């Protein structure tokens, strides 16, 4: 952490290391203002105690009242107005230690965030002699506060709620991501202008393949992003939050098979490989949400590139038809990926969504099947019949909801 004993710390710097509830922030912020109003160079523990006394609706003040502390004896003279605005004084070393102690108390009880009652407990520590003596003189003891902490209903739900992690420094867009994006842009510009009719095929390949790899990165980023928010910090270290396609590669599934299926079948095969630490994700709901993050990424990408079709309900009246055809095909591929991924069989995301709610026996049995369900599904789609017809009709119906005409999808597939 930047800052130090000489200049103190800001609340933002403190909160980076110590998770504070809104009520605890309120106490610290008022304490900083009170320090300034009293001409103190830094915020000391005495200022936090004074702030707690001046905030009757705060959890710390309620604890003082519930424990029959002599609040009048804790008031400072002259008493300041808590509503007066003042610049916050930096947080001093003594207060930094006090906040560390409060955090340690919270962790020992199993609380994820520091609440004003944890601050009150730390104010009774002997290394904060000034506040400890005043609180003890007012009739308070560490034992009484600890008893209060463990009493049912005494603590806010915020203290028990694990805070969402900061994304600062976790999300870093890799320059490698510019390669597929750049390829798609080059192909798109070439098709849009129509200046090289003889290059329609390579330009279409650039747009569609570049766009597909871009969507693959967004798909895998969606998994990793939600997993990170849900508690799995390993995805940041693995580079999954960088949008770098090289971080998501599986030798066969990520590159070879998706491109082959694009070239011969027009199917957006879900590729990529993001390995999540499911034990680190806080709940089954978050595990399901992390599995759904990939298809949600495809949906957002489809809307991002397909909004002109929705506005004009068909091919927009500008640009070259070959551009709109290739773009329509790329949108269509997003919906094939979404539908495929939501099928609840391994290794698709649909199975990952329901897996946390299944018995261990069912999950083990499903995982033993390996790639067999995937191969069987593609065989059925390839051979035609009712399953294939139902799948493609559903994908076309989803594309039509975004205003993508079927004939443009067909034209885009042909020129690709």
Tokens of 409: 């999808």
Considering the candidates 50, 105, 220, 278, report the single residue annotated as catalytic: 220
**What is the rounded (10 degree) CA torsion for 281, 214, 298, 228?**
10
For the question of residue 220 being annotated catalytic, the response is yes
In sequence order, which residues have a C-beta less than 8 Å from that of residue 38 and are 6 or more positions away? Answer: 47, 80
Residues 6+ apart with CB under 8 A from 159: 21, 106, 111, 112, 113, 114, 115, 117, 118
Between helices 45-53 and 129-137, what is the axis angle to 10°?
30
Dihedral angle computed from the Cα positions of residues 291, 297, 299 and 301, in that order, rounded to the nearest 10 degrees:
-170
Q: Phi then psi for 278, rounded to 5 degrees?
A: -65, -25
> Tokens 């424990």 map to which residue?
67
- With vertex at residue 19, the alpha carbon angle to CA 13 and CA 21, rounded to the nearest 5 degrees, is 115
Q: Which two tokens stand for residue 352?
A: 């990952």
Question: Which of the residues are catalytic?
Answer: 220
């Amino acid at each position: 952490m930047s800052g130090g004993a000489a200049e103190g710390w800001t609340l933002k710097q403190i909160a980076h290391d110590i998770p504070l509830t809104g009520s605890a922030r309120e106490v610290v912020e008022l304490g900083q203002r009170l320090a300034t109003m009293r001409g103190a160079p830094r915020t000391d523990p005495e200022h936090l105690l004074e702030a707690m006394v001046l905030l009757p609706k705060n959890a710390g003040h309620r604890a003082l009242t519930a424990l029959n502390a002599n609040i009048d004896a804790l008031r400072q003279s002259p008493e300041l107005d808590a509503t007066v605005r003042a610049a916050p004084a930096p947080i001093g070393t003594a207060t930094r230690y006090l906040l560390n102690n409060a955090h340690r108390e919270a962790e020992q009880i199993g609380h994820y965030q520091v609440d004003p009652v944890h601050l009150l407990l730390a104010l009774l520590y002997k290394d904060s002699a000034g506040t400890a003596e005043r609180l003890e003189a007012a009739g308070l003891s560490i034992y009484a506060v600890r008893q209060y902490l463990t009493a049912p209903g005494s603590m806010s739900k915020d203290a028990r709620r694990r805070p969402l992690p900061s994304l600062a420094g976790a999300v870093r867009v890799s320059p490698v991501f510019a390669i597929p994006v750049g390829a798609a842009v080059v192909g798109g510009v070439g098709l849009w202008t129509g200046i090289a009719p003889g290059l329609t095929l390579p330009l279409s390949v650039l747009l569609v393949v570049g766009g597909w790899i871009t969507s693959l990165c967004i798909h895998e980023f969606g998994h990793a992003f939600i997993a990170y928010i849900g508690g799995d910090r390993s995805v940041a270290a693995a580079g999954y939050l960088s949008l770098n396609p090289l971080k998501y590669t599986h030798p066969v599934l990520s590159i070879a098979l998706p491109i082959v299926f694009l070239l011969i079948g027009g199917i957006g095969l879900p590729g990529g490989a993001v390995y999540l630490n499911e034990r680190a994700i806080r709940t089954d709901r978050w595990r399901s949400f992390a599995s759904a993050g990939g298809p949600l990424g495809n949906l957002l990408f489809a809307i991002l590139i397909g909004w002109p079709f929705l506005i004009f309900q068909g091919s927009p009246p500008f640009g070259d038809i070959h551009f709109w055809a290739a773009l329509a095909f790329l949108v269509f591929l997003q919906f094939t990926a979404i539908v495929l991924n939501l099928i609840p069989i391994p290794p698709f995301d649909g199975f990952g969504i329901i897996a946390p709610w299944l018995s261990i026996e069912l999950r083990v049995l499903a995982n033993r099947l390996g790639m067999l369900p995937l191969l069987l599904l593609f065989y059925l789609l390839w051979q035609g019949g009712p399953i294939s017809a139902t799948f493609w009709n559903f994908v076309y119906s989803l594309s039509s909801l975004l205003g993508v005409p079927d004939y443009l999808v067909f034209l885009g597939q042909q020129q690709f």
